[in-house]
Structure 1
């Protein structure tokens, strides 16, 4: 239990560092550490598949793309536009949602007294594969066919544009 509280403290600390850091590259690096702590939380919750997906997709791909974009944009204080009132209002709403979440976490807002017990294998990859390929086989295959069609369409559109460029 003490590992959970330590990782939770580190996650909150680096999430706040992500928000309050002025340098955008440092902010992205703090966000990477925050995602890593979320991966540790997934492992503690016995959700190995979510942990691996979070590690590979978010930390490995998306955050690297964020870093590349930030380095290519070369942001500084002179080029940053002034924030509009709409952005400030959205920030206040997000802050109130965070406050409500914290109140619920500290049991100020009373949750229902229902205790949910069930299958302890629910977060494991083996159980996910069983459910995916038994109960949801048809939707899984249809989504695979749709993704294949989208990929073929993207390749055909790209080839058409290359042919038009060569003709001109």
Structure 2
């Protein structure tokens, strides 16, 4: 039990420290590496909470695929050209983004008081998930109730990859 607390404290401190390092680095590659370490620290926290599927997804999807895409994008674009351009002021898009973020956080806050975020309602209660196992439960949800959003997410990722390849070829 004491080892879990030590690992928890180390992973938590690591997540916070590397998040702060990520936002304070001037070199975007260093910032991306700090974000990868942050993702790995958060994955350790998920394992300590008993959510192995989320931890594995965190490592494979975020620390693996998406961060490698970010690193390659940073390496393909010219960082010097971006630094020479003046920063844009927050216009209507920034205000709309802030308002939508506040609305989303409010919606999530209201949803958490209803208890539905903890699996107490619906077909997949905590008892059903314990009986099936978390991997089978998530797989069943992806292939039944959430098949369309799952497929749309894969199409969006595919379009992003194709767009990155097209942008990289235009520069050459």
The TM-score with structure 2 as length reference comes to 0.56
Unaligned runs of 5+ in 1: 98-111, 155-168
Indicate how the Cα distance of structure 1 residues 131 and 19 shifts in structure 2: closer, same or farther if over 3 A, else same: closer
Match of 1:139 in 2: 145
Q: Secondary structure of the equivalent of 1:51?
A: helix
Q: 1:3 aligns to what?
A: 7
Indicate conservation of the 8 Å contact 1:7/1:41, yes or no. yes
Residues 5 and 56 of structure 1: CA distance in aligned 2, closer, same or farther (over 3 Å): same
Query: How many angstroms apart in 1 are the aligned matches of 2:30 and 2:151?
Result: 35
| Residues in 1 aligned to 2:43 and 2:24: alpha-carbon distance in whole angstroms | 22
Cα deviation for residue 83 of structure 1 reads 2.3
Q: TM-score, normalised by structure 1?
A: 0.58
Q: Which has the larger radius of gyration?
A: 1
State the distance in 2 between where 1:132 and 1:125 align. Answer: 11
Q: Is the 8 A contact 2:53 2:134 kept in 1?
A: no
Distance 2:69 2:131 in 1: 29
The aligned counterpart of 2:107 is none
Q: Where does 1:99-114 land on structure 2 (aligned, <5 Å)? A: none
Give the number of equivalent residue pairs.
125
Does 1:66 find its partner at 2:73? no
CA separation in 2, counterparts of 1:62 and 1:123? 30
Structure in which a larger fraction of residues adopt helix: 2
Report the equivalent of 1:42.
46
Please give the alpha-carbon distance, in whole angstroms, between the structure 2 residues aligned to 1:9 and 1:124.
34
Q: After the TM superposition, list the runs of 4 or more consecutive aligned residues in structure 1 that deviate by more than 3 angstroms.
A: 118-125, 130-133, 135-138
**What value does the CA root-mean-square deviation take over the aligned residues?**
4.0
The structure showing larger relative contact order (alpha-carbon pairs under 8 Å, at least 6 residues apart) is: 1
Map 1:11-160 → 2, pairs under 5 A: 11-76=15-80, 79-80=82-83, 81-86=85-90, 119=126, 126-130=133-137, 133=140, 138-140=144-146, 142-143=147-148, 147=151
Unaligned 5+ runs, structure 2: 103-112, 121-125, 159-172
Q: Is the 8 A contact 1:48 1:125 kept in 2?
A: no
Instruction: Name the CA distance, whole Å, in 2 between partners of 1:122 and 1:54.
Output: 20
